[in-house]
Chain A
Amino acid sequence: MAEKIIMLALSPTMETGTIVKWHKKEGDDISSGDILCEVETDKATMDYESTTEGTLLKITSAAGSQVKVGEMIGIAGKPSEDISGLLKQAEPIVRKTETQKKVAGNEPVSDKLQNITPSEKEHAPYGVRASPLARQLALESGIDIQSIKGSGPGGRIIKQDVERVTAQGGQPETFTKEQFQQKIPLSDKRRIIAQRMTQSMISAPHFYLTIAVRMDYLVNSRNSLNSSIKSKITFNAFFIKLVAEALRKNPIVNSSWAEDFIIRHSSIDIGLAVAQKDGLITPVVRDCANKGIVAIDSELHDLVQRGREGRLSLQEYTEATFTISNLGSYGVRQFTAIINPPASAILAIGEIFDELSFSADGGYQKHHSMLMTLSCDHRVIDGAIAAQFAGDLKNMMENPITVLY
């Protein structure tokens, strides 16, 4: 009996195939396993091996035709057979993926396969920390869970809290946010910092000016100095020394407001803000104008060390006539500081960063740069004076030879 030769899926994802070439012609004998034709699938060109036997009576899809999986491409049978009936059957065989899957009966799907219907009960808002049981008990007792104080970890409302409120007749408890917060007792140091900073901010009218400094010379000088001596001089020692020189040129910046008069200090005593575990301290290097960098550095090293450990005596960290705060090592680019009384100015120093600048010939160079911001007490220092001081300091930093001017 003649039968249709149908296009088969020659790759798992194939939906149509193009017949590239027939290996058999009409009238040829074919046996199962023979290559009938080559089919280009969505992936590759594959051999179509016959799954039928007999004579190839008719090729219904010539080379080049595109055929859907399941459609007839030819007819096989015995030489004399009548195939007119088959030829009329142009309709493709329906593939499983296109048919409606038949499932036995219309059975209820087992509970395990069904989604669980969400509870209709209204639960307490989930911003409140409460154990599920406490929520349930509060719901049953008609108590607003937000009115209950939690005694569990992090203020979690637990069973015994609900029971306590229930025992009190369900009266709401005063609910504050305090139960979620931790109270840290004030240390004396924290109290003093708070007082001094507030006092400074309220009484001294602050103004600020920021100036950019090319740091190439200072960076190079420090490198060459450090390569010639045993210890490593810090930038802070350079800053203190150069600030001292600038103050010498601008003595009004090295003064204090004393309500009825202004004190111009004879000694330049520079404090450096140092972070401690529980606060900060400002060790003071005295008489900086008359000390060299190496001396300043070694003194500073000792003071900072003992400052961090909290082993400074009172006179070692009070009465600075000027203060420096350097947050550059934290990656801070620029910031403003609060004046540390009795000084009238504080210098806030940012990080040293790379910057490109264009030269006259149109090329460009990389520079080390730094931003520093001076906070001034306007009662003592006016803008022009501050600017003059800042300009002098900038010049000295960029070209320390000017110290000699």
Chain B
Amino acid sequence: METAQVRQYSKEFLSGLMEKMLLIRRFEEKAAQMYGLQKIGGFCHLYIGQEASGVGSISAADLSRDFILTAYRDHGIALACGMKPGHLMAELFAKASGCSKGKGGSMHFFDSSLHFLGGNGIVGAHIPVATGVAFKIHLKKESGVVLCFFGDGAIHQGSFHESLNMAQIWKLPILYICENNQYGMGTDFRRVSAVTDFTVMGNSYGIKGKQTNGMDVLEVYNVVSGEIDRIRRESTPGFLEIRTYRYKGHSMSDPAKYRTRDELEAYREQDPLLLLKTKMLNDGHITEEQFEALDARIKKLCDDAVKFADKSDEPALQSIYDDVFA
């Protein structure tokens, strides 16, 4: 069954997914290392464990017309959108060559040319903004769809509910994607949510929800592709809960004592990279040697990103006054 499913996709496509996920994994590991060396300061929320969610979803989008917005766990989403590891690492290092000129940091990656519009640090605050981007697409009768990522913590904010209501009354082309990694900071989502099945969250606004396994990149890709197609066709909003898991704490200073090591290990057994690699190995799309070569190439990419960030200049002091006003 699995093999059959894998065979629906070309080797190039699967390799592409693997490459993106591996890049995110290695980039985040490097970021953790650099944080440990104090080259990165402040908040740093890692995406390790959630790779399939971002890569599966964004691979289903057409970034020539679609738009991506997310919250502060944005490294993986930015890489999935095609942003360069060097520009991101330089931003983490607070350098002028960073994607936001060293003024945004970990939570504020942006690349408007790639239609990736951030990178927002306030829980739930970007959901109306993403809805507004969809509003523009609707008003201008364009064909794009907005993918709005947020976590399980954001779903109880008023901004989420206000946005869903307006998206439905105005028929906006937006897919709300709740990446449910099961912990809002240190709080198990079951402790703070009146419902544990988030697919019902849109019911009050006439939006039917779907749910998918966020550890399986192909399943995510399939479901999101289907939703994007439907939204383009019908121009009504959608809601998707991706069940995923973050291996690391909420941010670098979080030792994640609120969950057991066993729980983490159980998820690592269905690691999204492992899952895809096994499928590809079984199917003969990749050999162990090829995988290692790919991994070595990506590790070098990340090492190069660190070198680029390291040798980049700090922003000029007078740049503090730049970009306050357009």
Contact = CB atoms under 8 A, between A and B. Distances in A.
In the complex they form, whether A and B have CB atoms below 8 Å apart is answered with yes
Which 3 residue pairs spanning A and B have beta carbons closest together? A8-B36, A104-B313, A51-B29
A97 interface: yes
Interface in A41-67: 46-47, 51-52
A220 interface: no
26 contacts: A1-B296, A6-B33, A8-B32, A8-B33, A8-B36, A9-B35, A9-B38, A12-B253, A32-B25, A32-B29, A51-B32, A51-B33, A69-B36, A70-B37, A96-B37, A103-B314, A103-B316, A104-B313, A104-B314, A104-B316, A107-B316, A107-B318, A109-B317, A112-B321, A113-B317, A113-B318
B315 A104 contact: yes
A33 B268 contact: yes
Contacts of B296: 1
Contacts of B30: 51
Contacts, number: 66
B148 interface: no
A183 interface: no
Contact of A96 (B25, B38, B48, B264): B38
Contact of B38 (A51, A52, A69, A107): A69
A103 B48 CA distance: 33
B29 A52 contact: yes
B96 to A, nearest CB: 6
A110 B317 contact: yes
B232 interface: no
Interface in B24-58: 25, 29-30, 32-33, 35-39, 48
Interface string B85-122: 00000000000100000000000000000000000000
Interface of A: 1, 6, 8-12, 32-33, 46-47, 51-52, 69-70, 93, 95-97, 101-105, 107, 109-110, 112-113
Contacts of B255: 46-47
B247 interface: yes
A97 B36 CA distance: 12
A104 B322 CA distance: 15
A102 B39 CA distance: 13
B293 to A, nearest CB: 12
Contacts of B247: 33
A101 B316 contact: no
Contacts of A101: 314
Contacts of B264: 33
Interface in B242-299: 247, 253, 255, 264, 268, 296
Contacts of B314: 101-104
A379 B38 CA distance: 92
B318 A95 contact: no
Contacts of B313: 102-104
Interface residues of B, number: 25
Contact of A110 (B36, B48, B321): B321
Contacts of A1: 296
Contacts of A6: 33, 36-37
Contacts of B315: 104
B321 to A, nearest CB: 7
Nearest to B252: A12
A34 to B, nearest CB: 9
B316 A105 contact: yes
A211 to B, nearest CB: 75
Contacts of B36: 6, 8-10, 51, 69
Nearest to B321: A110
Contacts of B37: 6, 8-9, 69-70, 93, 95-96
Interface in B298-324: 313-318, 321
B33 to A, nearest CB: 5
A27 B25 CA distance: 24
B186 to A, nearest CB: 16
Nearest to B31: A51
Contact of B318 (A46, A51, A109): A109
Given A11-B253, A104-B314, 11 more contacts: A8-B35, A9-B36, A10-B36, A32-B25, A33-B264, A51-B36, A93-B37, A95-B38, A96-B39, A97-B38, A101-B314
Contacts of A69: 36-38
Contacts of B25: 32
Nearest to A104: B313
Contacts of A103: 313-314, 316-317
A102 B310 CA distance: 10
A50 B148 CA distance: 32
A102 B96 CA distance: 11
B50 to A, nearest CB: 13
A104 B33 contact: no
Contacts of A109: 317-318
A96 B39 CA distance: 6
Nearest to B49: A33
A107 B39 contact: no
